[in-house]
Amino acid sequence: MELNLNRVDYLQVGVTSQKTMRLLPATGRRAIQKVVIADHDGVVTCFGIKKGEAVPVFKTLPGQKVSRLELGGAIGTPQEKIFISVGSEVRGFTKKGKQFLSFETNFTEIIRAMYVSGADLFLCANYIYNHYCDCKDQDYYLSSDKINDIICLPVEKVGHIAPILACQDRVLRVLKGSDLSYEVEVSGAPKVLALHNGNGGDSGEDLLYGTSDGKLGLVQITKSSPLHRWEISNEKKRGGALCVDYHDVLGDGVKELLVGRDDGIVEIYGFDNNNEPVLRFEHTLSESITSIQGGCVGKEGYDEVLTATYTGWVMGLTTEPIQREAGPSDDLKINQEMQNKVMNIRVELEQLQMKVLQEREKYQQSAQSSGTVSAVPVFSVNDKFTLNHDDASYSLTVEVQTAIDNVLLQSDVPIDLLDVDKNSAVVSFSGCDAENGNFLLATYRCQANTTRLELKIRSIEGQHGTLQAYITPRLQPKTCQVHQYQIKPLSLHQRTHVIDPNRPMNTLTLTGQFSFAEIHSWVVFCLPEVPDKVPVGDSVTFYFQNTFLETQLECSYKKGEGTFKSDNISTISILKDILTKEATKRKINLNISYDVNEESINYTLNLIHPKLEHQLLLAKKVQLIDALKELQLYEGNVDFLIPEYRCILEEADSLLEEYKKQPAHLERLYGMITDLFIDKFKFKGTNVKTKVPLLLEILDNYDPKSLMAFFDSA
Amino acid sequence: MGLFDKLAGWLGLKKKEVHVLCLGLDNSGKTTIINCLKPSNAQVQDIVPTIGFSIENFKTSGLSFTVFDMSGQGRYRNLWEHYYKEGQAIIFVIDSSDKLRMVVAKEELDTLLNHPDIKHRRIPILFFANKMDLRDALSSVKVSQMLCLENIKDKAWHICASDAIKGEGLQEGVDWLQEMPL
């Protein structure tokens, strides 16, 4: 059954954080639900819809930014108490807007995540988890990486309190009291957690997670071990999941899964006979979706999917038909509601224009006088800089509460900017002087009403520096905010849980007079996805995988000693250079020893081989396309061609597209092989830079055997 | 009509009576719609397929309607034309979730419009795209496209999406019908 949903805009509030909008349970006979939403201005708004207009129930005074909003209540009663987390404080409101709770926690940081279950309150700051019961401290846990979300399995079903933390290091941590019960490894950094079916499924132990790289999965949290049920991979390269909910939108008696993503996509998944999810509906909004809920808001009897976006728009996707009446007249009749809306906005706009004009004149006058200072308007920017596993590139997304005018990118490392299909912005590259350390200057001019910009950046392993983005929104007076992003030396490495121990490994060992915190800060400097905070305990091991070549890296270190193992000698070489530099900066004497495994060179070359061969073949095929097409045009048919060429002609479009997508792929691979070659001999103490042209010649007539022979002999 | 009746008519005390034909395929919701338009104390609870036809009365602010609620079943559809002469307005009901029989509805509508008793009279036709509460229902615009309503040039017509069980959309349709010169 296909699903038609129509978009309705209800109300705009301030900028919202993740999970800050909920629907109050319906009361009485009339089934229309009220919406409660909290924003960065600290205002909690509760409203209902009457005849298409938002009618406020209550609105609190502005204050600090609200980071979470949850509903709660005694177990077994309707969950209609509203809890918000503001700074390090939790406040509770009744559904009428009366404040009944103000609980100052002893957190030094602001609360990031919150979950309410009866009298139990679960709070998380960056790394700290705390459990309160009736506002009394119960349990405490310090996580080793940032906590993104928290949830607790339904107590009435599982019989004990089982909080689960979603942590940035791709792990769900299941706690028991103040201790870690066990860890569940997931394939991406989990961003949001929800109980399956809204109640944890039949056993109450089913947990749904959504990751920042857009995957969704269901895992059963039993007492002793996790049980993975299914995972939806993210083939279409959609944004990260920010919010999920369950609601029966199709009306078939089975609850569907609603997902809101950070690139504005709303998805509805149904469940087939095997309880596997199937995509049923999708809709694209232009801003990231921070909260999603299913329910009935606009008109009774019509279910809808209510979403709140980053900029504070509350929108519904309703099953109610919009165009109800039609007649013989050619132009569509605008209904009364719409006419009223247009009228109201017109009047409001006129008044505002007058007011702004007056104020602007006043401002101009006072700006002339000496001794006054022009204040800069503050606007919030929601940015995300993440590594994509599939194509070894970084994607930078910038979202502003108002429309963006332009974004200037400046980089002091050589990077490539790739095309993003979704982007409607116009790019212009300015010539820049690489000698002054300025490798890139690009301006993205956005078209009207773009609040979100997505960019793709390809970095080179080994070159590190900063990327700066100057963001100018369409605001008066025009101002600009600068955001900086670090491109780390080993920028293409991604954290994993396990590595293959049977590969030939090169080892780099460091010893010297350095503290645990110092070596940790060096590792943070070198590698992405490592928490800034020094890990608990006196030693730590991290595993990484190169997203481009799939080589591995194992870092284990403690006070005074560090061991780095990798099957790629270039990785070791980069680490050695950077670590020596860092240590010299702090005037620390390092003893560096390394153990090069000769086998590893051939192993890495074997890893590169299929990619290189694919690229070469692709380039060769693409070269032939034009000529073959011309032949096809002259001869009318291609039956005389050999099957190989016919095959190329058939796949011409997809080949061209792939070729266009990976323009620098071949050069990148050549670069990596050259680095590998130089690094191999560097560890032996010889400089082979003069032999590089010879190597390039061999690569041009690529043959794996002769390449390996060259590596061995030279 | 006596003098008293005329006087009452001018003063608006007595409502003008209109004969309306309610047509449509079986199971499209004709009887439910008529039932929903009646005052609440006259409504019946359970509705069964109509046999032949039935006559119903209801009043709105300006008019007093007498509706011939025809059965939509195939074997009774030939009864329709016997009442065309009396009809001053037509309510045509379509099940907007029944995509399969939309062509049948169109065929019936075409025969109706080409009937000698209907063809040259400028009688208003009100369409109800009924069962709009169902998830796979077509929108009223889509229904009007599938029935090619834009080809009706010499008659006033109007299409309303309706949910006859809850009574949504019916009032808008009847309001339009009242404004028509009958």
The 3-class SS string of chain B reads CCHHHHHHHHHCCCCEEEEEEEEECCCCCHHHHHHHHCCHHHCCCCCCCCCCEEEEEEECCCEEEEEEEECCCHHHHHHHHHHCCCCCEEEEEEECCCCCCHHHHHHHHHHHHHCHHHHCCCCCEEEEEECCCCCCCCCHHHHHHHCCHHHCCCCCEEEEECECCCCECHHHHHHHHHHCCC
Q: Which of B135, B143, B176, B179 to mutate: most A Cβ within 10 Å?
A: B135
pLDDT at A662: 66
Query: With a cut of 0.95, is the ipTM above it?
Result: no
pLDDT tens digits, residue range B73-116?
988 888 898 889 888 999 999 999 999 999 999 999 999 999 99
Distance from the B29 Cα atom to the nearest Cα atom in chain A, whole angstroms: 17
Other C-beta atoms lying within 10 Å of the C-beta of residue A312 = 22
Residue of B43, B45, B73, B145 with catalytic role:
B73
Which residue in A has a C-alpha nearest to residue B155's C-alpha? Answer: A328
Q: Which of A87-96, A329-338, A345-354, A691-700 has the lowest mean pLDDT?
A: A329-338
pLDDT tens digits, residue range A584-602?
888 888 888 888 888 888 8
Q: Is B73 a catalytic residue?
A: yes
CB A28 within 8 A of CB A36: no
Q: Is A250 on the interface with B (CB under 8 A)?
A: yes
Strands A552-558 and A481-487 come out as: unpaired
Set of chain B residues whose Cβ sits within 8 Å of the Cβ of A327: 157-159
Between A and B, how many residue pairs show a Cβ–Cβ distance under 8 A? 52
**Cβ pair B160:A325 closer than 8 A:** yes
Average pLDDT value over all residues in chain A? 88
pLDDT band at B147 (very low <50, low <70, confident <90, very high): very high
Q: At residue B13, does pLDDT exceed 60?
A: no
pLDDT at A332: 54
Of A4, A250, A326, the CB nearest to B140: A326
Q: At residue A638, does pLDDT exceed 80?
A: no
User: Residue A20 is encoded by which pair of tokens?
Assistant: 């800050």
**Cβ pair B139:A321 closer than 8 A:** yes
pLDDT band at A329 (very low <50, low <70, confident <90, very high): low
Distance CA B18, CA A258 (A): 50
Of A251, A325, A326, the CB nearest to B135: A251
Q: Is A253 on the interface with B (CB under 8 A)?
A: no
Q: At residue A507, does pLDDT exceed 60?
A: yes
Over residues A542-546, the mean pLDDT reads 92
**Cβ pair B139:A4 closer than 8 A:** yes
Q: Is B126 on the interface with A (CB under 8 A)?
A: no
Q: Is B137 on the interface with A (CB under 8 A)?
A: yes
Distance from the A299 Cα atom to the nearest Cα atom in chain B, whole angstroms: 11
Q: Is B97 on the interface with A (CB under 8 A)?
A: no
**Cβ pair A1:B136 closer than 8 A:** yes
